[in-house]
Every structure is written in C-alpha cells, then in structure tokens.
Amino acid sequence: MNKKDCFFLGKIVKKYSFKGELLAKLDTDEPELYEDLDSVFVDLRGNLVPFFIESSQLHKSELLRIKFEDVETEADADSLLKSDLYLPLDFLPELEDDKFYFHEIIGFTVEDTSFGTVGTITGVNDSTAQSLFEIDRNGIEILIPMNDEFITKVDKPNKTIVVTTPEGLIDLYLED
C-alpha cells in the first residue's frame, strides 16, 4: 500500500498500559467513525505496515485507545510511539456535494466570478491558521484562502471550484 492511496488518520502519541496498549490522536472531527477498525497501516521508517487491531475504544473523546495484535509489552509499544497511522482512501465517508477532502481537489480548475480562470489547484497548504488553495497559473503560484465566504460553488463532476475573492487579491500575484 502506498501513501498516495491512503489518508492520514492520526498519530500514536503515548502508551496506555504495560500490556502494549497505545493512545492515538486522530486527525478527524468525527473520531467515532474509526472506533471499530479491524486494521490500520502504521508508517514504520517510510513503509506502511498493516497492523491488526485486537480492540479499540475512544478515550477522552479525541484519543483512540488501541490494542494491536502481537503488541504485548511496553517495549513493543515503545517501538510504535510517534508513528503515523493511515487508512485506504476508500475508508473516507462520502461528503455532501459542496464539501471536499483536500486530496480530491488537486487538479481542479479555480474560476473567480470577476477575474475568470485563475489556474489549477496543485495542493492545499494547511500549515497556516487558515488553509490555502495553492494554484498554478502558468508557473506563478497564487494562494487563495479556503474561506467558506469565498467558495461560491464546488463542481466535482467538472473538476471546478468557483470562488469570489476580494477585488485585487489575484492581481497581487500577477504584478511585476
């Protein structure tokens, strides 16, 4: 399994017991969707390794307490600390038409209601306070905040996102 075919579920943050149980911080608004998993992929030195889950339950709402098969001791658990967890993309729940996952909009065209065609989405920068569309316009990178007030329409079948940005925002990137 390759990372490009998976999504980041969370990270193992600490041990829970001396019997090999671990706590994982999930990167989701709905952790209850992932409470009854049979298995996950654990990123071990850049390789996704499948681990089967003996038992799991939510712990203090945002953490998932996990007991993996064949992880029986503190030493076993130590070897997994700080590891990232992944699941195949088809485990993602379907979203409403105007909602999207970041990975599925790569390659979409961005149209601005007053500017016209802005360019093609090459990525999403979510390391800032507000996530940004990273858009390529003939070799020039344009960043547009992923603000609900700016997004007018998401047209998944035609791979287009229509935005209404403040006047002059796009021009800032195009001036010499």
Count CA atoms within 13 Å of residue 98 on its CB side.
Answer: 10
Residues 45 and 114 in one domain: no
Helix extents (H) in the chain: 74-78, 169-174
The CATH number of the domain holding residue 75 is 2.40.30.60
Q: Which long-range contacts (CB under 8 A, 24 or more apart) does 100-109 make?
A: 100/154, 100/156, 101/7, 102/126, 102/131, 103/7, 104/156, 105/133, 105/161, 107/159, 108/159, 108/160, 108/161, 109/159, 109/160, 109/161
78 and 124, same domain (yes or no) = no
Low-confidence ranges of the chain (pLDDT < 50): none
Within this chain, do residues 167 and 117 fall inside the same structural domain, yes or no? yes
Residue 66 belongs to a domain: yes
Q: Where are the alpha helices (DSSP H) in 45-156?
A: 74-78
For 66-105, what is each residue's pLDDT tens digit?
999 999 999 999 999 999 999 998 888 777 777 888 888 9
Q: What is the pLDDT of residue 143?
A: 96
**Residue 124: predicted pLDDT:** 92
Is residue 137 domain-resident? yes
The verdict on 78 and 106 lying in the same domain is: no
pLDDT at 127: 82
What torsion do the CA atoms of 25, 27, 30, 32 make, to the nearest 10 degrees? -40
Number of domains in the chain: 2
Residue 97 domain flag: no
If asked whether residues 7 and 85 sit together in one domain, one would say: yes
Q: Note the pLDDT of residue 137.
A: 96
Look at residue 170 in the predicted model and tell me its pLDDT: 94
Average pLDDT over the chain, rounded to an integer: 91
